[in-house]
């Protein structure tokens, strides 16, 4: 019997055409009758389409390309199959990373992160949707959220740490109404999403950093809310941004 968790696990394979005909039909039948899974599939499709945008592609500098080519150049063999220890280490490392990261993250949480990334990319491609309220004053943004949502997240001014507040907008992450506070760091835009944690499950202590295509994502949970910061800013600076928020949030 197909349920939402199982469907979420198979959506990538469905889009890749890697499912058997009967399994593909089961997933599509479930998605057709489930608004949540249908929205997730739409978000995944949009992410794939957005990541094909040439503007998101990065050409390696000549110096890096030459370094990689030099590393890949043939070397004299000193022993039969000298690559076996390296290959084994790579396989073990990849398997360990997968075992430690992916299985411990619920499918619905992965889908919410993917939805937040999709919303970030959409806001960057349609500038008119980046801000509903243009303001650098957190004291005016918080009551604006209170008028429009059942909750209002802490709105933290980080201008003194070179994270400028641009404003806010209303959004939806998965099926959940979300507040989005928009910041800028140099030429990078940061979308900070916040929505109610209906499951009431407090996440692991601290923040978690993941990557989706050209974007970095830092997310964390309390018993009341889930937070997700998305940007093409490097992971270290985005993690620092999240830590500053945690320190200064009311």
Global model pTM greater than 0.75: no
Q: What is the pLDDT of residue 207?
A: 83
Both 40 and 115 in one domain: the answer is no
231: its two tokens: 């940007």
What whole-number percentage of the chain has pLDDT above 70? 74
How many angstroms separate the CA atoms of 142 and 168, rounded? 9
**Residue 66 forms part of a structural domain:** no
Q: What is the pLDDT of residue 98?
A: 41
115: its two tokens: 């939805």
**Residue 84 forms part of a structural domain:** no
Both 21 and 110 in one domain: the answer is no
Both 32 and 118 in one domain: the answer is no
Both 23 and 113 in one domain: the answer is no
**Residue 227 forms part of a structural domain:** yes
Both 120 and 210 in one domain: the answer is yes
**Residue 70 forms part of a structural domain:** no
10 Å CB burial of residue 80 (0-12, 13-18, 19+) is: exposed
Both 130 and 12 in one domain: the answer is no
What whole-number percentage of the chain has pLDDT above 90? 32
How many domains would you assign to the chain?
Answer: 2
Both 127 and 191 in one domain: the answer is yes
pLDDT of 226 higher than 60: yes
**Residue 30 forms part of a structural domain:** yes
What single-letter DSSP state applies at residue 218?
E
**Residue 241 forms part of a structural domain:** yes
Greater model confidence, 89 or 110: 110
Contacts of 162 (CB under 8 A, 6+ apart): 185, 186
Both 121 and 244 in one domain: the answer is yes
**Residue 175 forms part of a structural domain:** yes
Q: What is the residue range of 123's domain?
A: 105-248
Mean pLDDT over residues 144-158, rounded? 91
Both 240 and 133 in one domain: the answer is yes
- Cα–Cα distances in angstroms (integers) from residue 77 to residues 83, 85, 206, in the given order: 10, 14, 47
Both 117 and 208 in one domain: the answer is yes
Q: What is the pLDDT of residue 184?
A: 95
CATH of the domain at 155: 3.40.1000
**Residue 65 forms part of a structural domain:** no
Both 222 and 116 in one domain: the answer is yes
Encode pLDDT of 14-62 as tens digits: 877 787 888 888 888 888 888 888 888 887 777 766 666 655 555 666 7
Choose one of 13, 36, 52: the last residue of a domain.
52
- Cα–Cα distances in angstroms (integers) from residue 116 to residues 10, 43, 96, 97, 194, in the given order: 20, 9, 27, 23, 10
Both 228 and 120 in one domain: the answer is yes
Mean pLDDT over residues 69-97, rounded? 55
């Amino acid at each position: 019997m197909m349920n939402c968790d199982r469907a979420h696990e198979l959506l990538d394979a469905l889009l890749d055409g890697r499912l058997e005909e009967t399994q593909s039909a089961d997933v599509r039948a479930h998605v057709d009758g489930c608004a949540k899974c249908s929205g997730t599939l739409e978000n995944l499709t949009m992410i794939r389409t957005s990541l094909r945008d040439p503007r998101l592609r990065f050409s390696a500098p000549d110096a890096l390309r030459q370094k990689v080519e030099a590393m890949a150049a043939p070397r004299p063999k000193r022993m039969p199959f000298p690559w076996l220890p390296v290959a084994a280490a790579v396989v073990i490392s990849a398997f360990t990373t997968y075992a430690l990261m992916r299985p411990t993250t619920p499918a619905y949480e992965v889908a919410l992160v993917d939805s937040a990334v999709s919303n970030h990319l959409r806001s960057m491609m349609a500038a008119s949707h980046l801000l509903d309220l243009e303001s650098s004053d957190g004291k005016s943004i918080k009551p604006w959220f209170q008028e429009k949502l059942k909750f209002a997240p802490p709105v933290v001014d980080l201008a003194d740490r070179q994270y400028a507040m641009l404003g806010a907008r209303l959004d939806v992450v998965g099926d959940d109404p979300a507040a989005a506070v928009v910041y800028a760091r140099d030429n990078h835009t940061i979308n900070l999403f916040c929505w109610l944690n209906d499951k009431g499950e407090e996440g692991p202590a601290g923040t978690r950093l993941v990557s989706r295509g050209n974007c970095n994502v830092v997310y964390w949970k309390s018993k009341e809310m889930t937070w997700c910061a998305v940007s093409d800013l490097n992971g270290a600076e985005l993690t620092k941004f999240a830590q500053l928020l945690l320190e200064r949030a009311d």
